[in-house]
Structure 1
Amino acid sequence: MSTAESFDLDETGKIDLSQIYDRPDPRHYYSTLRRLEYIIPEVAKPVFQSIISTFRRTRDKGRLRILDVGCSYGINAAMLKCDLEMEDLYSFYGPGVVAGAKRHELIVRDRRLIKDLVKDPGLEVVGLDSSEAAIRYATEANLLDAGVNTDLENDAPSPEEARILSGADLVISTGCVGYVSESTIEKILAANAPKKPWMVHFVLRMFPFDAITDTLAKFGYVTEKVETQTFLQRRFATQEERRQVLHRLDGLGIDAGGCEANGWYHAEAFISCPEEDCSSFDLRPLVSM
């Protein structure tokens, strides 16, 4: 339960990984996450694919615009567009493959990979992340179709940024809740109004989702949690991180037995749909998958 480099703990008790999100290219990002056995995009992918399929069937719409909140270097976009696994991405950016490559060479390589590997051309993915470097790389490499790097927790989007955030059919996230709150969600809803995108958020059990659920309800959403399972995010980096997280969970009255006590972060999935859509199909199969 250790890595080749040390990390400080942030105010939540997690290790501070901010240093891996602000590099000119994603090599350090992927090498660090590989050591931590980070896997949440892969375990979330079948849920996203099920929601995408249901949305297309319900709305009779083939092309979808997805907004990935906390998108970093476009990891969910690559996985959904190309149906990749985490090991594929770790290998693409491994030192044996891209050692010594310049940033622009990686961008050219990634553009070619995306063009050759895409399996679902009907997906358009735009990203939101506070890291300018990550957004710039992901858009230049065509991993993302567009991106916004404004911190919506503290700032309103510019007119151009609001335009990029608008038109979403589905809003997703795989780990930003806890750092992103209902404030960001409200601004996303405002940018998309009067349209109401569906949402799927994967949230670590240490971060309550109640405030976002309540905010979505005010906008006419129904939110259901996937009750049948939790979803592995990554293993703890250190014993101190494990201790801090278990302490936080205990304070929330959450039993870590069989989950975080075994050394891994566990997330829960929350699916939110507008009430008018829920009346036309049964949400229960989606939350019992």
Structure 2
Amino acid sequence: MIENKGAPGQKIVTIYDDIYDLPDCRSYYRAMHNAGFRTAHYASTAFRAVLAELKHLRGLDQANVMDFASGYGIAPALMRHDVTLDDVLSRYIEPWYDEATIEDVIAKDREWFQNRRRVGQNDRFAGIDIAGRALEYGRAVGIFDAAFAENLQDDAPSAELQAWLAETDLIVECGSVAHMLPGALDKMLQATASKRPWIATAPIRGNDTSQALEMMREHQYDVVALDMPPFRHRRFSSQDEQKRAIANAEARGHDTKGFEDAGYFHAQVFIARPKEEVTHVVDWAHSPVA
């Protein structure tokens, strides 16, 4: 695999609010391509390994996966389809997407994903985010089987979401566990208490993850960082952003040499499991390392 280092001559927009909730994903993924975004590549490989081990231990033929703060659904897209992150991001720099209508983009993406479903992949995926239009895109192209535009930090889950959570086997979150706010996480874990789903999350090093990780422990989960090297999230937009990231990472005990000082945010994967289901990663049938 050739690392996408981004486009150094292209200015990175670090506030993605105006492109995070559009009817299709092309503007967002173009920005991710320019920024050298890599987290989803490494995280989705780890998530597939986690899901395989979970299904093995519980004897499941089919699992229900909830993608938290899912946006357009890049993690489920890579988990359930035989595509790479490079395959996805490079699509949207094709000239055809410059003038295509929203309807044409959705139709083309739906066909593309349908033709690339992993053999034997029958797990069900749902997304939850406050970005309702992004979720609808993911559902329209077949990334999500269900989608919930809800704000669990402020509100209780709807009856429909409550029902889906009650059947959830795995919760994944790709980007930053800081987005998995303790209030939202607490509501999800209460709603999923009968299933005791595993949780796999890929936070940026340096982000304050303490409250979210502690919330998992309060719900009697064993929480550990997977034994895999830190990986690139995206390149820094400026020297000031890099300085802040280095300071934050070092304040939390991370060695930044060769990582943040090389010009990129770095991330890592945490896994939370009921204590009675903890197994050694070296014994897993699938490696979590990409």
What secondary structure is seen at the aligned counterpart in 2 of 1:37?
A: coil
Distance 1:274 1:266 in 2: 27
What secondary structure is seen at the aligned counterpart in 2 of 1:19?
A: helix
What secondary structure is seen at the aligned counterpart in 2 of 1:117?
A: coil
Distance 1:101 1:39 in 2: 26
With 20-29 and 85-94 compared, the bigger mean Cα shift is at 85-94
Q: What residue is the counterpart of 1:160 in the other structure?
A: 160
Distance 1:260 1:246 in 2: 6
- 1:256 partnered with 2:256: yes
CA contact 1:70–1:176 (8 Å) conserved in 2: no
What secondary structure is seen at the aligned counterpart in 2 of 1:99?
A: helix
Distance 2:9 2:251 in 1: 28
Q: What residue is the counterpart of 1:195 in the other structure?
A: 195
CA contact 2:226–2:269 (8 Å) conserved in 1: yes
Inter-CA distance 129–176: structure 2 relative to 1 (3 Å threshold): farther
What secondary structure is seen at the aligned counterpart in 2 of 1:45?
A: helix
Q: CA deviation at 1:186?
A: 1.0
Distance 1:141 1:3 in 2: 32
Letter in 2 for 1:178: A
Q: What residue is the counterpart of 2:109 in the other structure?
A: 110
Q: CA deviation at 1:66?
A: 0.8
What secondary structure is seen at the aligned counterpart in 1 of 2:178?
A: coil
* CA RMSD after TM alignment: 2.2
Q: CA deviation at 1:54?
A: 1.0
Using structure 2 for the length normalisation, give the TM-score. 0.88
Identity of aligned residues (%): 24
Query: Structure 1 runs of 4+ off > 4 angstroms?
Result: 283-289
Give the unaligned 5+ runs of structure 2.
1-6
Distance 1:194 1:205 in 2: 32
Q: What residue is the counterpart of 1:205 in the other structure?
A: 205
Letter in 1 for 2:91: F
Distance 2:258 2:11 in 1: 28
Using structure 1 for the length normalisation, give the TM-score. 0.88
Distance 2:127 2:228 in 1: 29
Q: String of CA shifts for 1:155-180, please: whole Å, max 9, x gaps.
A: 22221222233311111111132233
Distance 2:142 2:55 in 1: 24
Q: What residue is the counterpart of 1:231 in the other structure?
A: 231
With 266-275 and 158-167 compared, the bigger mean Cα shift is at 158-167
With 257-266 and 238-247 compared, the bigger mean Cα shift is at 238-247
Distance 2:66 2:95 in 1: 32
Q: CA deviation at 1:203?
A: 0.9
Distance 1:208 1:288 in 2: 24
Distance 2:230 2:249 in 1: 15
Inter-CA distance 3–134: structure 2 relative to 1 (3 Å threshold): farther
Q: What residue is the counterpart of 1:56 in the other structure?
A: 55
What secondary structure is seen at the aligned counterpart in 2 of 1:156?
A: coil
Q: What residue is the counterpart of 1:12 in the other structure?
A: none
Inter-CA distance 205–285: structure 2 relative to 1 (3 Å threshold): farther
What secondary structure is seen at the aligned counterpart in 1 of 2:139?
A: helix
CA contact 2:176–2:204 (8 Å) conserved in 1: no
Q: What residue is the counterpart of 1:22 in the other structure?
A: 21
Distance 1:269 1:21 in 2: 23
Q: CA deviation at 1:94?
A: 2.5
Give the unaligned 5+ runs of structure 1.
8-14
Letter in 1 for 2:152: L
Letter in 2 for 1:243: K
Q: CA deviation at 1:69?
A: 1.0
Letter in 1 for 2:71: S
What secondary structure is seen at the aligned counterpart in 1 of 2:99?
A: coil
